[in-house]
Structure 1
Amino acid sequence: MSIMSAPPIDRGYTSLLHHLHRPSVTILTQLDALQASIAYHLAHGQKNQLNGQIPTPLAATVVGSSMFQFPDETDVEIINGRLEMALKAFRNSVHYKAHALLGKPDPANPSASTSSSSSHGILSSVFSLPMESKLSMWTREVLNGLQGGPSVVRFACLGGLLVGLEDLERQWAARKAGHVTGTDGNGEADEVVAVRRRTRGKIEEEVIVALAEVMEAYPLPFSDQSMNNRGRRSDWELEFAQNVPGMTGRSVVATLVFVLSSQVLPLVAEERLRALPLEIFLRSLLGTISSAFQRGKIFQGFHENPNSGNMGRGSKFAQDLTMVTSSPQYRSARSLAGLFARTTWTFVIAKTQHLWPILNETVLVFEEMARSIQEAWRHNPWVDVQTEEEIPEPARETLTQAWGVLKTVLFVTVMVQQSVITATIYLPPPSQKTTTYLEPNITPASVALTLLQGLSNLSFVITKFGGVTSTARISVFPQLKRLFYSALDVLSTDQATSEKFVISLCESRKRNATPSKWSSRVMESARMAFSLACIEQLASNVDDEGIQSQIFDMCVPNLWDYENREVYESSHSVVLSLLAAHAQRVGDGSGTIHTAGKHPSAISRGKGKAPTTAGARPLAEKIVPFYTNCLLENSVEGRLISAQLRIAFATLIRSAGSCGDVEGDALTWLCIQSLLDVLSAVSPHSTSGPGTAAQGDTERAHRLRLMLVSSLPAMPLRLLPKGLEEIRRCIVYENDQSRKEELAGEVLKEILERVGDKEKVIVMKWWQNNRESFSSQEIPS
């Protein structure tokens, strides 16, 4: 009588079960090996055992393991490491299973040969289910094993499955596009992608269910703003949203699940995402993001010991900074911001007004965080250094790391705030009922105002990217400029709010004019440049009194400060915006305030009162003569360049000419005559005959002549003959032939492109009479 021998025991599988049931201290420090073992045995099962290929028991063992039970004192990194291990294990198991079903070498053991089972593979391909059905069946068996497990680890495991299936689909897409070679040509890729249609939906549903259970069972990481408004929250939130201090055990589990969700939820279909309590989910995301930067307290070390130069690698500040940058929340800050933006857009599509209080909370959280960071950074001992060599060697590495954190703060701020400002544009305005019940006085303009105040607090970081007014052809940070001008566009729709904002910026600069102990020249300069950029776009919403007493007085001290280039150029831009707005208001006589800002998106839709022509004259009579002299003084080498001078002088002439017939003509000719006087002084024979001048004066004289040429399209019709004669004299008596040809070419360009129809008749006749004396310039037919 023969006795059948028992199949050999799969010692690797039984060892894995033992470690999962009774995790030892040793195995808990070897999570990579444990993760690889779980992934392998989920895909391949237990060898030589009946029903050993079914992954359900192992999945149930993993999800029920005591290693995922976290006492209150458990460290953050321990919890995060184990949850990440579970996600990676289930993600890799999908890859292993797909390779096994395709008959390819195991990625865990690529050298293993498959020749011994080649005949079996041929038979199985004939008599077995399609590969897609096998993978779907295996996935459902894994899901069965995860049923009933604790919600936290179940979310991690389900997330791993979903990410793994997404990986397969991307591989298929790459092969289809021809980016990856080596497909077997048997349609396996098409079978793999079919899993998305048949199986992925079920996984996504289970992911949402698990996350909802976590949100019910654990304290949610609400921001301080949300907790301050608890009186307006629902009973559900009040019951479960406990602002538990500390970052251990249960109080941090939900935070880490939200960190994992930044990898998983972007793969979930939008219609399933709506099944979550999205308002609470967004607030929790906001709290998780702000916790990544310790709610703005990340540089508190500067406050605690401001005079200390000890910032080397072993200092407490350096250790605290390293601890923050290595935290799970910080490492996932950008993906969390992306998830926040996507969820916000889900609200926008639904056109729900319940998003308005969350938008308001979001900008308040980021404004408070930016303000705390700014105040702490003022205490940095090396805040005003110009070069890296001025910083002691031990502190250099730490400060470099700190600047990396500041840039991350700015990137995350822009990502989140762009979704906020987009929502304010597309959402219906908050109704009276909504604002009364949830949060009073919320408007699109108020949200944009708080957003800009937050960006102002980060202006010392923004300036490292060229500021918000950079005219470079390729912007270093185009998303920042888009956010900035979009917010100004929204703010400008409310004339009263935007005017109040401009006045507050001016008054703030006056208060900070007197240096204090912790004043920073670099930070104040950056903040001034940001304020001027805002004022430039919103100045036309301010009445004449505010322009004269606030804006103009704020700009005047900076109009000659050419060493502080950003503030210097911004101040000139603000004055020009005032002049252009004045010319437009007086010119159209419509009583509508228009934005004269140089950015195309900053178009005011406000309905404030515009000054009448008579009321605008005192403003022009004060600014135009003063700024004419200022502009001419700044025509020397190293200050404003030719292009800036030409635009400025043309704007000046246009503004002067808009003040009426007599006054406008007088003011216009005052500007031109002032230029001619300076030109005569620089090059005595420049308009009367040949002469010589020093090289520096020659260059300046040429800039002045180009300024005069640029004023041609803005000259009033009555002054045109006199102006044309002065331009003729400038060209005829230019000694240098190349400069002479340049002047003539610029005149022709102004005539063809910018001179109005009425004036063109006179100007064309003048050109025909004088072009031979200028050069061989021909008028295109």
Structure 2
Amino acid sequence: MASLTIDRAYTNLLEHLQRPKPTISLDTVFSSVPYYLSHLTLPHPTQLTAFFISSALWKELTLEQLKSIITAFRFAVHSKHSEIQKSDRWFTIRTPQQQLVEWVQAILKGISRGDSQLKFCILGGILLGFDDLGEDTISVWEKNRVERQVVIACTEIMDGLNDSDEDPWKKEFLSKKSDSDSREVMFLYSCYTVLPLLDEEKFSALNVQKLAYITEGGIESSFLSGRILDSSRSSMSKENNKVVIQLNSSLVKRIQSVLNNQLYRDAAPLAKLFARCLSTLANQNPRSALETFKIVVEEMEKLNSKVEKDWNDSILSTAASEDDIDDSSKPISTDIWKILKTLLFSQLMVLQTILASLIYFKPSIFPPHISAAAIAHTILRSMHNQAFIISQFGGIAAISDGFKELKRVVYSTLDLIAADSNSNQQADLIDHLLSSLQRSQLPRDHASYQAQTAFTLTVMEQLITSLTDETIEQKIIPFAITYLDDTQHRDTFESAHSFILAIFTSQGKKQRLEPSSNASDGVPSLSEKLAPFYTSCLIRNSEEGRLTTDQLRLTFSNLIKNVSSSGNDALAWFCITPLLSHMDSHKKVKVVSSPESSSSPMIMPLLLTLVSLMSCVPRLLLANILEEIRTRYQELLAEHPSQRDEVNRAILEQIMSQVGDLDKEIVLTWWTKDMRGGEESYSNIVVY
């Protein structure tokens, strides 16, 4: 539409853009520019773009203006593409793709001498438009040209942010307030909006190490360098046993400033950009990447430590549920938890990239002062500080319902520590976690203390095979056993039992690999010393409301299985005897209290536990255990015939899927003859 090249509205637009103090509204500019860019004949788009980028309107560029510039040029690409498709192709020999290329080249000429930040925005808008329309819209060559210009503009901005050699990222970012209109925030917004469109070759052309540091600074500033809950103590109180947060307090203003921060609102794309920088740096220069990884995880630990301290100092941390919070304070409480969870998610994205790189680095790459285990150690210390947040997602136990990204990070970190046999990282980590709990001023029933305890128990469980028996016996077991009866705190209660079970499993494997390790000197193994105590503990926790039936069956069967692996049949039977005695005691209680009362609810879990042992005991004890099952099975059915199916299912499940091939014939014979009414006694069956 050639007439538009000289119409009065267009001329007025150019005049306003040239004025030292333009009076034209921004809405008019952002609606007019895409229209004229897409309708003007060449070379007028070059002129308009040059006037636009040099306008005094952008002398004090704001984030909202920057967003509008990106959107305007993105829309201009759409509009130009639409105009080309509608034009009469009889009057041109150029293909639609060629026409769009010429138009883009005209715009590139117009911005050639403009401000780098404005060029970055305009080029970004064009790339976003290309991405919207698909690969066939523009030639690969022209798209590559635009991407190269994006890299140049981005590099120019980074070079201008700070020329100091001393921690430029931190000095530049953390010394400033988190102002949404600061150069750094606008630069980062442009980066995580545009740079994901670059292929790996173009992205690698950037100074990714410096970009990583700038991005890290942006993430830290968006979370106030960990001072999210600063002054929380003076901003909260308890009234009528409910937490009240003063709505005009400095804490509420601080929380609102975080929620209004553009980088916080875009935490996910910002973290993805950071992770990509680290991944690219790892491929380019592994040694530099290791130095960067070390700095990043150390900064995370500092930030998380500050957040944890302020959280524990706040009255809000004592609220067990929303019912403990005053209605007027629930919205701000929800906002606080939203920020804390966003912090965790952002860090997990970055940590996944760091761990993936560490796993595949060759040992020769690591300098003397850095190791994968040391970085992993720092990560776990940092996550230990976040245990109160992690507990909101079910914790990190293997059987918990926690989300998979969290578990992947934790268990990858533990694998790196466990794999390092040339350092004391395993023992050092355990010492740090235990001493942290010992130094804590929190009461034992505080939610944060319980969360850190459950975290510590799970970490110790996963590292059990890497620790010496001396460390386990002298440091870890005394800590864990204090939680074996603590049913008021279910997470730590179950974690403690899972940890003790891991000890028996580890000791059983060690015994099978080194069967003569303790036999020669007559010294009992750790599992042999622990077994009698833990048997008594399981009996205590077999009562209703403690271990579930499934948990009791699993723990008791694993206890007997691993004790039996040492060849100590006497100890195995010694551990079974209390179970039998406990079942007998329930029968006596029933007779004394009331012959008509039912013992089924108490006996049933114990009988099912006894059934689970048929696949765990050594062959010399198999006859005894089968006879005990038969006797108690018949006693139960005499009073409660309705329980027959449940017990039968448990027995058949053991026979078909748990009992080994060598013992299966014996157990099947017992089932068909003794249990199903046969005449032959099991005691007459020969055990080979």
Q: What TM-score, normalized by structure 1, do the two folds share?
A: 0.79
1:145 equivalenced with 2:110 (yes/no): yes
Q: What is the match of residue 723 of structure 1?
A: 625
Q: Residues 87-138 of structure 1, C-alpha deviation per residue, up to 9 Å, x if partnerless?
A: 11111111111222222xxxxxxxxxxxxxxxxx4x4356442212111211
Q: Residues 407-448 of structure 1, C-alpha deviation per residue, up to 9 Å, x if partnerless?
A: 11011011111111111112223546xx25xxx2x1111111
Letter of the 1:636 counterpart: E
Deviation at 1:313, TM superposition (A): 4.2
Letter of the 1:754 counterpart: Q
Deviation at 1:650, TM superposition (A): 0.8
Q: Distance in 2 between matches of 1:430 and 1:373?
A: 36
Q: What is the match of residue 160 of structure 1?
A: 125
**What stretches of structure 1 of length at least 5 have no aligned partner?**
1-5, 46-50, 71-77, 104-120, 170-191, 592-609, 775-781
1:448 equivalenced with 2:355 (yes/no): no
Check 1:616–1:485 CA distance in 2 against 1; reply closer, same or farther (3 A cut): farther
Q: Distance in 1 between matches of 2:520 and 2:97?
A: 77
Q: Is the 8 A contact 2:219 2:267 kept in 1?
A: yes
Deviation at 1:651, TM superposition (A): 1.1
Q: Distance in 2 between matches of 1:402 and 1:248?
A: 18
Q: Distance in 2 between matches of 1:39 and 1:8?
A: 14
Q: Percent identity?
A: 29
Structure 1 segment 217-232 matched on structure 2, within 5 A: 217-219=160-162, 230=166
Q: What is the match of residue 684 of structure 2?
A: none
Q: What is the match of residue 64 of structure 1?
A: 54
1:101 to 84, 88, 95: 84
Q: What is the match of residue 599 of structure 1?
A: none
Q: What is the match of residue 493 of structure 1?
A: 419
Check 1:44–1:671 CA distance in 2 against 1; reply closer, same or farther (3 A cut): same
Q: Residues 129-171 of structure 1, C-alpha deviation per residue, up to 9 Å, x if partnerless?
A: 22121112111111111112111111111111111111111xx
Deviation at 1:82, TM superposition (A): 2.2
1:679 to 575, 578, 583: 583
Structure 1 segment 439-518 matched on structure 2, within 5 A: 440=369, 442-469=370-397, 471=399, 475=401, 477-495=403-421, 496-512=424-440, 515=442
Q: What is the match of residue 35 of structure 2?
A: 40
Check 1:342–1:590 CA distance in 2 against 1; reply closer, same or farther (3 A cut): farther
Q: Distance in 1 between matches of 2:505 and 2:362?
A: 33
Q: Distance in 2 between matches of 1:101 and 1:42?
A: 13
Q: Is the 8 A contact 2:600 2:636 kept in 1?
A: no
Greater fraction of residues in helix: 2
Q: Is the 8 A contact 1:589 1:612 kept in 2?
A: no
Q: Is the 8 A contact 1:429 1:444 kept in 2?
A: no
Q: Distance in 1 between matches of 2:92 and 2:75?
A: 28
Q: What is the match of residue 294 of structure 1?
A: 224
Structure 1 segment 426-437 matched on structure 2, within 5 A: 426-429=360-363, 431=365, 435=367
1:766 to 649, 665, 670: 670
Q: What is the match of residue 660 of structure 2?
A: 756
1:564 equivalenced with 2:529 (yes/no): no
1:209 to 132, 147, 152: 152
Q: Distance in 2 between matches of 1:92 and 1:613?
A: 82
Structure 1 segment 152-301 matched on structure 2, within 5 A: 152-169=117-134, 193-219=136-162, 230=166, 245-247=175-177, 252-301=182-231
1:332 equivalenced with 2:266 (yes/no): yes
Deviation at 1:286, TM superposition (A): 1.4
Q: What is the match of residue 644 of structure 1?
A: 551
Q: Is the 8 A contact 1:21 1:65 kept in 2?
A: yes
Q: Distance in 2 between matches of 1:635 and 1:59?
A: 78
Q: Is the 8 A contact 2:18 2:55 kept in 1?
A: yes
Deviation at 1:57, TM superposition (A): 1.1
Letter of the 2:388 counterpart: F
Shifted more, 727-736 versus 576-585: the winner is 727-736
Letter of the 1:365 counterpart: E
1:656 equivalenced with 2:563 (yes/no): yes
Deviation at 1:55, TM superposition (A): 1.1
Q: Distance in 2 between matches of 1:529 and 1:731?
A: 38
Indicate the SS of the match to 1:354: helix
Check 1:248–1:537 CA distance in 2 against 1; reply closer, same or farther (3 A cut): closer
Deviation at 1:79, TM superposition (A): 2.5
Deviation at 1:22, TM superposition (A): 3.4
Q: What is the match of residue 107 of structure 1?
A: none
Q: Distance in 1 between matches of 2:519 and 2:197?
A: 58
Q: Distance in 2 between matches of 1:7 and 1:265?
A: 34
Deviation at 1:8, TM superposition (A): 9.5
Letter of the 2:377 counterpart: L
1:630 equivalenced with 2:543 (yes/no): no
Q: Distance in 2 between matches of 1:561 and 1:252?
A: 52
Q: Distance in 2 between matches of 1:559 and 1:693?
A: 34
Letter of the 1:311 counterpart: I
Q: Is the 8 A contact 1:31 1:85 kept in 2?
A: no
Deviation at 1:741, TM superposition (A): 2.7
Q: Distance in 1 between matches of 2:596 and 2:512?
A: 41
Deviation at 1:679, TM superposition (A): 0.6
Q: Residues 659-688 of structure 1, C-alpha deviation per residue, up to 9 Å, x if partnerless?
A: 33xxx11211111110000011113499x9
Deviation at 1:550, TM superposition (A): 1.7
Deviation at 1:379, TM superposition (A): 2.3
Matched residue count: 666
Q: What is the match of residue 351 of structure 2?
A: 417
Indicate the SS of the match to 1:734: helix
Q: Distance in 1 between matches of 2:515 and 2:28?
A: 75
Q: What is the match of residue 683 of structure 2?
A: none
Q: Distance in 2 between matches of 1:95 and 1:403?
A: 41
Shifted more, 738-747 versus 92-101: the winner is 738-747
Letter of the 1:43 counterpart: S
**What stretches of structure 2 of length at least 5 have no aligned partner?**
679-688
Q: Distance in 1 between matches of 2:439 and 2:220?
A: 30
Deviation at 1:617, TM superposition (A): 2.1
Q: Is the 8 A contact 1:338 1:416 kept in 2?
A: yes
Q: What is the match of residue 21 of structure 1?
A: 18
Q: Is the 8 A contact 1:499 1:538 kept in 2?
A: no
Deviation at 1:217, TM superposition (A): 1.4
Q: What is the match of residue 130 of structure 1?
A: 95
Q: Distance in 2 between matches of 1:467 and 1:658?
A: 32
Letter of the 2:149 counterpart: E
Deviation at 1:304, TM superposition (A): 5.9
Q: What is the match of residue 583 of structure 1?
A: 508
Deviation at 1:709, TM superposition (A): 1.2
Q: Is the 8 A contact 1:576 1:651 kept in 2?
A: yes
Deviation at 1:573, TM superposition (A): 0.5
Q: Distance in 1 between matches of 2:595 and 2:300?
A: 61
Q: Distance in 2 between matches of 1:570 and 1:700?
A: 24
Q: Distance in 1 between matches of 2:191 and 2:519?
A: 58
Q: Distance in 2 between matches of 1:7 and 1:256?
A: 34
Q: Is the 8 A contact 1:709 1:747 kept in 2?
A: yes
Q: What is the match of residue 732 of structure 1?
A: 634
Q: Residues 292-349 of structure 1, C-alpha deviation per residue, up to 9 Å, x if partnerless?
A: 1121112213156565977354433222221222112212221011112223232344
